[in-house]
Structure 1
Amino acid sequence: MFAISSTTYAQTLTAPSLGMAGEFAVLGSNAVNSTGSSIIYGDLGTSPGLLVTGFPTGIVLGDTERGTVAAATAKSDVVRVYNELAQFTPTQNLTGQTLGAGFIPSEAAVRGTTLTRGVYRFDGNARISGRLKFDGQSNPGSVFIIQVNGDLVIDAGSAINVINANPNNVFFRVTGNVTIGTGGLIGTPSTLSGNIIAQNNALLSLCTTLVGRVLSTSGDITLNNNNISLPEPIGSSGGGGGGGGTGTANLSITKTANGSTFVIGDNVIYTIRVTNSGAADATNVTVEDKLPAGLTFVPPADADRGTYDANTGIWTIGTLPANQTATLRLTAKTTAIGEITNIAVIGNGGGTDQATICVRPARPNVVGAQEVCTGGSVTYTVSNVSAGVTNLAIVVPMNSGLTIESQSLTGFTIRAGANTAPGTYALTVVAVTTGNCQNSQAFPIELIVRAAPATPVITSPATALCAGATYQYSIAQPEAGVTYTWTVTGTGWERISAATGTTVQVKAGTGLGKVTVVASNPCGTATASTPDVTPGAAPATPVIVDNSGPCTGLTYSISNPTAGVTYTWTAPAGFTFTDNSTTMTGTSVTLKATNANAVGTLTVTASNATGSTCPSAAASVEVRAADAGTEIVIPTVFSPNGDGINDSFVIRNLLNFPDNDLTVYNRWGNEIFKTKNYRNNWMATGLEEATYFYVLRVRGCDGKDQVFRGPVQVVR
């Protein structure tokens, strides 16, 4: 026998009211289509659509409502019930299971699957194959809710029986489509009971019978020679009281809680409803609802009729008119763990109903160290353990090497084995209780396991070291949570950055030295050092001699060059060496300028051998292309007005030829200025604006004189 049972907690469930939808055996959204001679014992409708086909030949023994106000009202109730059914907390998850034992002859197939009152959930599609029984277990008010988050498929030949209960209280809530008759015994009718409420389409196979309803919030319904009848109304669950007038009173009672599972200390709200569905008033109506052990009344009671005495547990309603309901809400604090059943009884031998809740322990609070070393242990202290908890369930990852050394209700100790790999491990602690109720929620722990650091590997500079130069050393593969501390030793060696970190800056000394790092964490230390090394020494910084002139060009040389030392020159921008390169080696070089006014800085370094990694500091000299100018350029005008611009008679490149004479005459041939080694400083002092005449003799690089004559205009 394949049977599924569940403990009914606070969900001594109250079926949602179908409202106007209760009168409809079939209600679709856009269309209802029928093939053959379907018979509908109840109303048939569509909303908002208008399409109904197949009637006749099919027969509707109630009303047919196509897009009417009545159909729209019923559709609104269908949507409401569909949403209300989603709010119930599942008492059991049946995802992946098939309801029924199939069609192979066997005792299991005969018995099928039995579900007791409760809420059942499928996270995905659901299938019924064979016989499914809903057993109210002598409580005709039992409610059964099947939440299908997907499609519902019912194999052909299947049967759904409702025992000791009413099909009105069986609900299939389906978020997808409903298909009846696709598998199983193809061509064999199915006999079903209950309310099917689907979001999408519903398809009933040939000759399927249904005692219940097939309703859709937004889909179509397709029928095929089906017989669908409304269930009989649910009768009263008890009686009591009396009244005058024609007929008799008929009292029934329901009791629900606002949840199924609570944590100790939570408040639970019970709702008790007494309904008089008879034709006469009921008088002297009382209900006994005394809270059992494990619950403490939290005032006030909320009754819309009569009064509630918390000491006696009696709710005195008095007279309850025909067709009216009295409601009482009680709030109670949970004070004990376990299953607690609370019973409400109508006085004078009337009906009863009960609600059973599960009170789980409070989640324990765990405090302890967050880290432990391999081979070490950590102790945790536990508090907030509820009375009645039998032990703590401590869950550690399998094959982690973590073990529980000791435990009690107030604490426990975890040991990390020698083979436990460093990392972060998730542990949980649950307070465990006996009985059918749930244990506490799990308290999560993250435990970090660390090992002593591995011996660090130092990454050294890739080139040979030079005395006085700065270099970086680093850890090749640093570990998280490890502190690296650096030291340097040796003559002249110096650490010039912070002592801790994954890198360090070191200035090399002149003698033997090395770099050392210590890796440490709370679990231990490890040390590594570089090999001893003597840095190379750089030669002395060279001294540049400027030999530039108009007769020599831009020529530079090293003063007192050292044998075996290589001197490497770098030309400034705007200049090249005579072979058009920008670098050259040697004790002297000659530059050429790309334009006559170029200015830059020539540099040179000395090294002990070509390609040495230890060059000297760079020496430099300013280079001016004009220093080697040979072309004598004489202006034809200048303006000695004291504005600092063109105030003197400047002859370009004349200063490069100091062996010169300059004589200036006025227009009558009188000599007004004469000098040797003219320095570009004649400003025509005391002379008026006029045109004057000059005679300039210059001795060139070849030792020969060259004479220049011409006019020059003085403009104030």
Structure 2
Amino acid sequence: MSNQGGDVTYTINEGASIVLHASSLHASAYQWYKDGVKIVDAINKDYTATAAGMYSVVAFNAEGCPSEVSDGVKIIVKPDDPPVNLPDTVVDLAVTIASSNLHAAPGDSYTYVLVADNKSPITGTNVQVSYVIPENLVYLPQPNSGDLIKYNIATRTLTWNISQIKENDPAKLVITVKVLAPGMVQSIVNIKGKQIDPILANNVDQTIQQVYPLVITNVFTPNGDGVNDTFVIPGLETYSDTELTIINRWGNVVYQKTNYKNDWDGSGLVEGTYFYVLRAKNKAGVWDTYKGYLTLLRTRI
């Protein structure tokens, strides 16, 4: 409050009010004015002001004689503060994952590329990307990964910590894994940060990596024409150890070989259907087992 030249100034917030008091003690009536204009029905000793302006009052004695106009009271109304917009609490983070290998075999090593991005103008902070390594994979930590990458062996969770991400300035992480066995590998990543994220749909991403098994033919024709004369299993040479067993329809073992070299020609056996059991140790040191049937044909086609 200030007092300049007899006038008093008060500042109130928008929507608030202040009670003004006439100083005359023995008046019979009062009339309040705002900016020199009479305020209708403002005839009491006290007046509640809610609007900005210069207020004054005139007191009347019992005979109806008016007093001099009082010193003015200036009311200033301070507008409400605009709604607080906290853009620094709303950040749209996004994450993607992609495999570098489109054709993987058991024991192969390949990489996943994780990309963390910020789709909003406000910098995202304390960003964390999580990736639970699938059971069919072995995580291969890279040297000099620093403190930003943490891996919990018990939960198989890889955590990538990023202090901040600016708008359209994505961060990339390449991780290396080794696959253990054939099948479909589903990888899922999640991202979160300190700020509220208005779009959760892009906070998770996934990719499917197919690990291809050996493809074993079910027909071979050892008829001496130089075509398909031995039981060949493409890709078998990539396995360090193998065991092949051939069984006839009566359950008798008719051929057995350790470290098979794709050279069995069915010698001594008649045409017909046989069954195979192949055990092969892949690059990850895991034994894969394949079972099925094959048809031996000697008739030239």
Please give the TM-score of this superposition, normalised by the length of structure 1.
0.19
Higher RCO, 1 or 2 (CA under 8 Å, sep at least 6)?
A: 2
Please give the TM-score of this superposition, normalised by the length of structure 2.
0.41
Higher-Rg structure is 1
